[in-house]
Amino acid sequence: MRSRLDTGRRSALPRPAALDPVRQCALVVVVYAVVVAGVTLPTPLYVTYQERWALTNLGVTLLYALYPAGVLVVVLLAGHWSDSVGRRAVVAIALACSALSGLALLASTSVALVAAARLLTGLASGFVVNAANALLVELAVPARRRLASLVSTGTNQVGIGLGAGLSGLLVQYAWAPTRLVYAGHVMALGVAALCLRLVPETLPTTGRLSLRVPSLRFPARDRAEFLAASLASFSAFALCGLLAALAPAIVREQLGHDNAALAGGAVAAVFIASGTTQFAWARLPNRRTVLGGLAALVGGLAGMTGSLHGESFPLFALSAAVGGVGVGAVFMGSLATVNARAGGQGRGRITSTYFAITFSGLILPVLGTGLAADHLSQFQATAAFATGIGAVALLSAVLLLRVSASE
């Protein structure tokens, strides 16, 4: 099934004044980070929205879940756009979606506006992750392309973390907390658009867009390892989703701190730890990287549960950072594993299946925890989440060890 939007043939975009590859890559990193920072900007404000519109915990998680839903729409239906109209054009689409999201949040006069903004944020993130990653790798000199790929994944995680951290500080200590955060982001997006103009296109364009409904599939061989890698990534993303959606409520209701800066800091800890430690994990084989990441992930989940029982914010933040180390390792190692196992013409369908499983970790467990928190205590709901996700992580580790033993 395919629908087409014919944009017509265009002449090539004017080539910007030449910059050396390092500066070009630096500009792409700035643009990338500014867009993905919008993912967690509303996080410290969720408790404000919850009080303003009498939202349940499930309602808050539904608002959050619109973001990964938007990402999935792009990954599954429009992930090929940057191959058709060029990398810069798709990054520009991401900037536009992010700006529209910021303007909607700046108004935020109703739940509907916030919901629309979250969906736009997901679309923006899906577009920029695909196109900026390709742009960054293609701009780098051949000898540095592996490093560029690591910088790309690190930028995604660190950018999301910085969004939460800066938003928490502004919400807690600046004036007009529900306005200033988004106004600043819209202005930063304007600067990012100027940066993009200085970056050359790396791919010839056809000028044609299409929406493709993918057919998902598992690899013909090594299915056990593929399933293990996908489940590992599912569990890692579930931790990120829980904190991005419910950290402010957990910090306030369970840990006794009505402080947006602390909530934003806890979210920043998991994402920044994830992004910055990937360079260390890159030296290990893929399977060992995933197993090490799963151990850190389970340790972080256990620590978070203990911190809630003891009502200790420092332990909660430390456990989030430990979990973040695991998230970075699991995502990097599992994606590399899938790429190594997905070959030939089925690669696109296999990787789409992997991403569908991975991003569902940002939706299903988080919605379940939000629903449980409306009927149980925050501690009981979070403990149940940690137990369930820990079980998935351990199942993934067992599958990987069985694969290793059979070889």
Residues 244, 382 within the same domain: yes
Structure tokens at 269: 């800890």
17-51, pLDDT tens digit by residue? 567 888 999 999 999 999 999 999 999 999 999 99
In a domain, 279, yes or no: yes
Where is average pLDDT lowest: 58-67, 184-193, 280-289, 338-347? 338-347
Q: Verify that 177 and 302 share a domain, yes or no.
A: no
- Considering the domain architecture, whether residues 251 and 377 belong to the same structural domain is answered as yes
In a domain, 211, yes or no: no
The last residue of a domain, from among 155, 172, 206: 206
pLDDT of the residue at 347 = 64
Structural domain that includes position 368:
216-407
Q: Which residue has the higher pLDDT, 234 or 153?
A: 234
CB 364 within 8 A of CB 240: no
pLDDT for position 1: 41
Indicate the pLDDT class of residue 386, thresholds 50, 70 and 90: very high
pLDDT of residue 18: 66
Give the pLDDT band (50/70/90) at residue 344. low
Identify whether residues 179 and 230 lie together within a single domain. Answer: no
Between the two ends of the chain, the Cα-to-Cα distance in Å is 40
Residue range 257-278, pLDDT digits in tens: 999 999 999 999 999 999 999 8
Question: What pLDDT is recorded for position 174?
Answer: 92
Question: Do 289 and 172 share a structural domain?
Answer: no
User: Which of the four pLDDT bands, split at 50, 70 and 90, describes residue 346?
Assistant: low
Do 327 and 372 sit in the same domain of this protein?
yes
Query: Which of 186, 206, 226 is at the close of a domain?
Result: 206
Asked if residue 7 is part of any domain, the answer here is no
Do residue 153 and residue 276 come from a single domain?
Answer: no
Q: Are residues 40 and 114 in the same domain?
A: yes
Same domain, 183 and 235: no
Whether residue 4 is predicted with pLDDT greater than 70 in this model: the reply is: no
- Chain centroid to CA 370: 19
CATH number at residue 163: 1.20.1250.20
Q: For CA atoms 373, 377, 379, 380, give the dihedral sign.
A: negative
- Total number of domains constituting the chain: 2
**If you average pLDDT over residues 383-387, what whole number do you get?**
95
Q: Mean pLDDT over residues 280-308, rounded?
A: 94
User: Looking at 174, 206, 238, which one is the last position of a domain?
Assistant: 206
Tell me the torsion sign for CA atoms 169, 170, 171, 174: positive
Q: How confident is the model at residue 10 (pLDDT cuts 50, 70, 90)?
A: very low
Q: Residue 371 domain-assigned?
A: yes
Is residue 74 assigned to a domain?
yes
Q: Would residue 10 count as lying in a domain?
A: no
Q: How far apart are CA 220 and CA 116, in angstroms?
A: 39
Q: How far apart are CA 327 and CA 157, in angstroms?
A: 10
pLDDT, mean over the chain: 89
Residue 5 lies in a domain: no
What integer pLDDT is reported at residue 27 of this predicted model? Answer: 95
Least confident of 6-20, 46-60, 273-287: 6-20
Would you place residue 343 in the very low, low, confident or very high pLDDT band (cuts 50, 70, 90)? low
Determine phi and psi for 5, rounding to 5 degrees. Answer: -120, 105
The Cα–Cα gap between 52 and 403 comes to 51
Same domain, 142 and 260: no
Assess whether 151 and 299 both reside in one domain: no
Residue type, 382: T
Same domain, 198 and 221: no
Residue 3 lies in a domain: no
